[in-house]
Chain A
Amino acid sequence: MKTIAIDIDDTLNNFSETLAKTHFAHDARYTVSAEIFDKYLAMVRNKEGEEDELLSTEFSYFRQKIHGQCFDLAVARPDGVEFMQWLKQDGWRIVICTSRDMRRTEQSTRMWLQENGIPFDYLFVALDKLSFCKAWEVDYLVDDHFSSIQFADRYGVKVFYPIMAGQVEPEAGFARGFGNFEEVRQWITE
């Protein structure tokens, strides 16, 4: 069966733009002072980590809360939605493959996909999406993560990634950049 794995954030939606442009107001649910709120928010927006040996910290909980809101607020790419609906109609097995923590976000992720008319067959969490695709014999992956783009050939998985503004498309190989999902549709039906 034809199978394709597709990431959500910054692939099917505009997560980074949402994170950068959304106004987050300080309130009690963050359980930090206004000063710390501003500091942490800047860190989250700059994708900075903490220099802390601890796994769960005040900052890590804060980041979860901000990311959780962005997951809900992010806007689906119209061409992405159209592409997903075409996949379904064309008989593809669709695996949503994300690095989100599904323990916290399963309900909201499912709701977002449903509200945006995005069909799928399975929902999977994989930090290393190429390894997942190789193990599950998924030939195609649509993902923006640099490691998926960089190591696509090593795993023999055809990776399609959305080209960000100012990004230079590398030479065609196992990884190909696209401006519109229509290009992906053409490539996987070649």
Chain B
Amino acid sequence: MDNRVDLIKEFYQGLPTNRVKLETFHYGFDFLEKLLTDGIVLRYGERYITGRFYKYKLANVPKERIDGLLQAHVRKECNVCLYFDGNANGLFCFNLDINHKVNNTVMIPEMAVAVTLLRDILAGAGCEPLVIASGRGYHCWCRLDAPVSNERLHKFMLGAMARTFYGLQQNGMDHRKIKANFYPDPRTQDTVSLRLFGSEHMNTKLFSQVLSREGLLDEAASWKAFEEHLRRHAIIAEAFDAGYASMTSAA
């Protein structure tokens, strides 16, 4: 099997794989008939006007089909997005999007400052994130060495984001230009998914590049950074507890 599939499986271990959101240019009832085998069911499909691609929310995905989907994912034949566990998770993610109706793939100064602030806040709390370009902004992933309840993760993320937005305001910037969503979020954990690393954005065709402190890395360097983060940056429980205490205390 492709080593990249193994890396992805290890990084995202703990996320349920029986539900998948698939992004692809394939469509039609014949395609759907082939996709919906081995017990897989379609919850809903969605056609995007821009780029004319599709998203399919699939349920009852058996384990033996996941490897094939991930293989297709790293070959850029489709994108696999996963949902979070409903109770506790061993990783969490901040999804920062540019909150503009138009041109929301064009980087804005607020986004660059926000992601730097958030990275510093998380690193300061002992939770060095892996920052990945998402198309409309960035995904900031943090891995834990053991699952933590969604409620605790959400409170931690709220605290970190509040500090980030405060920092933006201190820099004279409007925080409303950034839309921040948290994964997992107890309010939406069954309904929203996140695209995995190793994907290519359906509209922009840009690879999910890692944003290091020096800047965006190319594809090969991004895979290297992804593997390195996997090996070095799992947050141990004591560190998360300390970070949680600082993030949920009054600033």
Chain A interface residues (CB < 8 Å from chain B): 1, 3, 52-57, 93, 102-104, 106, 122-128, 131-132, 135-137
With A93-B29, A123-B43, A125-B47: A103-B192 Cβ-Cβ less than 8 Å: yes
Number of interface residues of B (CB under 8 A): 24
Tell me whether B13 is interfacial, beta carbon within 8 Å. Answer: no
Residues of A within 8 A of B28 (CB): 135-137
Residues of A within 8 A of B52 (CB): 131, 135
Q: Chain A's interface: helix, strand, loop or mixed, by majority?
A: mixed
Interchain Cβ contacts under 8 Å between A and B, 5 examples: A53-B101, A54-B101, A55-B179, A125-B45, A125-B47
Asked whether, in the complex, the Cβ of B47 is within 8 Å of the Cβ of A126, the reply is yes
Q: Which of B39-89 contact A (CB under 8 A)?
A: 42-47, 49, 52, 57
Residues of B within 8 A of A54 (CB): 99-101, 176-177
Asked whether, in the complex, the Cβ of A55 is within 8 Å of the Cβ of B46, the reply is no
Asked whether, in the complex, the Cβ of B46 is within 8 Å of the Cβ of A126, the reply is yes
A145–chain B nearest beta-carbon distance, Å: 14
Residues of A within 8 A of B102 (CB): 53
Q: Chain B's interface: helix, strand, loop or mixed, by majority?
A: mixed
Tell me whether B3 is interfacial, beta carbon within 8 Å. Answer: no
Asked whether, in the complex, the Cβ of B191 is within 8 Å of the Cβ of A136, the reply is no
Residues of B within 8 A of A53 (CB): 100-102
Residues of B within 8 A of A52 (CB): 101
With A54-B101, A106-B191: A3-B45 Cβ-Cβ less than 8 Å: no
Tell me whether B104 is interfacial, beta carbon within 8 Å. Answer: yes
With A53-B100, A54-B177: A135-B57 Cβ-Cβ less than 8 Å: no
Asked whether, in the complex, the Cβ of A135 is within 8 Å of the Cβ of B43, the reply is no
- Which of B47, B57, B179, B191 is within 8 Å of A56, CB to CB? B179
CA distance A39 to B241 in the complex (A): 44
Asked whether, in the complex, the Cβ of B45 is within 8 Å of the Cβ of A122, the reply is yes
B181–chain A nearest beta-carbon distance, Å: 9
CA distance A104 to B192 in the complex (A): 9
Residues of B within 8 A of A102 (CB): 43-44, 46, 57
Asked whether, in the complex, the Cβ of A131 is within 8 Å of the Cβ of B47, the reply is yes
